A and B are shown apart, each in its own frame.
Chain A
Amino acid sequence: MIEIKNLHVSIGERKILDGLNLTVKDGEVAAIMGPNGTGKSTLSYVISGREGYDVTEGEVLLDGENILGLEPHERAAKGVFLAFQYPVEIPGVATMTFLKAAVNAQRRSRGEEELQTPDFMKLIREASTKLGINMDMLKRALNVGFSGGEKKRMDILQMSLLQPKFGILDETDSGLDIDALRIVSEGVNALRSPNRGFLVITHYQRLLDYIKPDTVHVMAKGKIQKTGGPELALELEKSGYRDYVGEAA
């Protein structure tokens, strides 16, 4: 379970998150929707531990433990996973090399044995097949020259290999074609389990047709403005955010 309590975050002088509260229980899929520039990606970075943000107040608890003081890799080992809005290209680093390094780094952090190459290959072959990723692609440098949709798939592949406790999907649907959207959603759905929570950031109902959320949260002006069930997303499709952004927007 992840509990975000009264989170205040600034970048330099500018306040981005302003007392945000949100709880995502194990087994729950929570969707966050909100206008551009509201701080959704900021929230996902702060949870996963990126530098450059001042957390001036509040806490982020993963199963009761405040993770804000941990290094990003430690959070990852505890099960935080972020599928990036914009996955970065990493020239010179073969995708396969990276995947193995990531899987084994997390295993080491948790005091588990490293996976040997044959076991790892088996794991990766299965996961790639499910996501329609060609094994040849894994020989290429990570994300370099991958299409937008391929990059998103690669992030979901990583999620299925790393089996996180809490997965954040930041606009994973953007850039996906209709078939890819279905494949990626199936990949996510396959990972849904009673002891794993998800935070799905999206602008469109379309994704939520595939990944059915338990809760929907409207975020604006640095906090959660309204919480409801799946019907809230449908409502937003019709009316937009005008009720939430107010005059101050």
Chain B
Amino acid sequence: MTVQAIDKKSEAETAFAGAFEAMKGKGAPALRQASWEFFTRKGLPTRRVEAWHYTDLRASLRTVAPLGAPGAITLPPTTLGRVRLVVADGAFRPDLSDVASLPAGVELSSLADVLAKEDASVLTALGLPENAGADAVIALNAALMQDGVVLRIAPATEVAETIEILLLSSGGEACSSFTRSLVIVGDGAKAKIVETSLALSPSGAQENHVLAFAIGAGAEVEHIADIGPQSESAIRLFSLLITAQAKAAFKSLGFVEGGGLVRRQIFARLAGEEASVSLDGISLLGGKDHADTTLVVEHAAAHCQSRERFRSVLDGQSTGVFQGKVVVRPGAQKTDGSMQSRALLLSENATMNNKPELEIFADDVVCGHGATCGRLDADQLFYLVARGLPKHEAEALLIEGFAGEIVEALGEEAVRDIYFERIRSWLGKRGGAK
């Protein structure tokens, strides 16, 4: 153990300096500079950083791919008539987005524009929220952010259309991208936001995305993070930041379909009384996939509710991580929190790391958590095969049931159908259990 060994920059850490040089003149110099300094002090997270204990990013990210640049893209058709905003290889693409059909009461700017104009009202919201401030990956994102979308939803607006932020990787030559998007939801407004990570063709893309929600009092947000398949060599980091004011409600599903290294980190802050968050997740992993969901829900006000339900299905040599922490601040009385993570291991070589935690500094709270990790149940399997289902079909039905319980909680039938279909097609690709 030498001091030099710790201080020494990895090749990747050094390479980011080049990207910072390229980005530092592109708005928000103070935020970028402070974030860059913070990142260089901290370095890429390793297992020694508790929140990154099961995902050694420093070891995985050896070389840095060049920053992405806009190119020609052929888009897939839209889903369920959603209003689509395309951020491709790090750049917001108004030319590819449904800018003209934005619903009334929704104002859109590109992050690049906001940064160039030094729009103070947005810049503050873009800064690091208190409970995510110590994360080096978010700091790196703030230092290098290229583009993204900023959506402002006027108070009391009920937006019927679902707005999709499509984070697109065009594929081909691997590139890195740093996007930051912000959704400011006015008091009493309602919005549905889908964040989709889609690779047009697989590549070793290195993506660092931040999506922040500032949710006004009494506002309601439904969110889906849809992280589709990618190459085994891809590294995708998604930070979801939520601040919910009094009586605000945030309801989210994260659907992760493997693809190299995926890290989702969620920092949710219940800032006003009677706010609620519900964070659900499904991960379907196979091959060498590594998917980490690490979340912190902070109850900073009284009478708030939080629910987390995560299900992981692991096949092949995949690794799943769930780390969840519910923090109840002093004074956050009558907190109602519950967190559950369940994993289904389909292969001998798959691994799940489950770590739910509670940190409670108030005395009048109801909080619970649970984590399980198991294989398909032999009694259940026999029941199904004894009724005539071939083994692989019986397994598929049980796995679909396991993950499907989370899909059932989605409000819209058409959306439920999409995810049931995704689960089935994933199951179709995997074949029988080994």
Contact = CB atoms under 8 A, between A and B. Distances in A.
B42 to A, nearest CB: 41
Nearest to B382: A50
- Interface bracket on A: 20 to 34
Contacts, number: 78
Given A93-B400, A141-B401, A88 B390 contact: no
Given A84-B383, A90-B380, A90-B384, A73 B390 contact: yes
B413 interface: no
B389 A93 contact: no
A88 B401 contact: no
B32 to A, nearest CB: 47
A92 B402 contact: yes
B384 A50 contact: no
B386 A49 contact: yes
Contact of B401 (A52, A87, A91): A91
B404 interface: yes
Given A73-B390, A105-B388, A93 B401 contact: yes
Interface in A78-107: 81-82, 84, 87-88, 90-93, 97-98, 101-103, 105-106
B379 interface: yes
Given A92-B402, A93-B397, A93-B400, A73 B380 contact: no
Interface residues of B, number: 25
Interface in B365-386: 377-380, 382-386
B386 A82 contact: yes
A73 B389 contact: yes
Contacts of B386: 48-50, 72-73, 76, 81-82
Contacts of A7: none
B388 A87 contact: no
B397 A98 contact: yes
B402 A88 contact: no
Contacts of B106: none
Given A49-B385, A91-B402, 4 more contacts: A51-B378, A92-B398, A92-B403, A109-B388
Interface of A: 48-52, 71-73, 76-77, 81-82, 84, 87-88, 90-93, 97-98, 101-103, 105-106, 109, 141, 158, 162
